Amino acid sequence: MNISMFYEKKDSYKIIRELTYHIGNVGVDLQTKNQNSQDIDIAAFTYNDAKYIRKQMQVNNQELYFLYIYLNLFSQDKKELEYILNKIEGIVQSKGMRDKACIF
């Protein structure tokens, strides 16, 4: 396995604008309360996170970076490679990260 990591600085103005839009939409969803309690809990959690990130960027001049991790997996057997890929995807998704497979 080879591991490569890259980071990218995101445009603060664009991120703040997107967070403000998200906060407004989720705020409306929380006020209507037409969803089940689990959906409301998730919406409230993301609402508070978005407000915290926006505050850190606006008040404390924090910057936002995206971190990209590339994993190159190698195997002589296709089934073994698929097993390893599924296992790593499960770990990545359980940590709340997004994944995308590029199969060559």
Instruction: Measure the CA–CA gap between 12 and 15, rounded to whole angstroms.
Output: 5
Six-digit token string for 34:
């037409």
Per-residue pLDDT, 33? 65
Determine how many CB atoms are found less than 10 A away from the CB of residue 91: 11
The enclosing H or E element of 90 equals helix 78-94
* Domain boundary assignment for the chain: 10-68, 73-104
pLDDT of residue 36: 65
pLDDT < 70: residue spans in the chain: 33-39
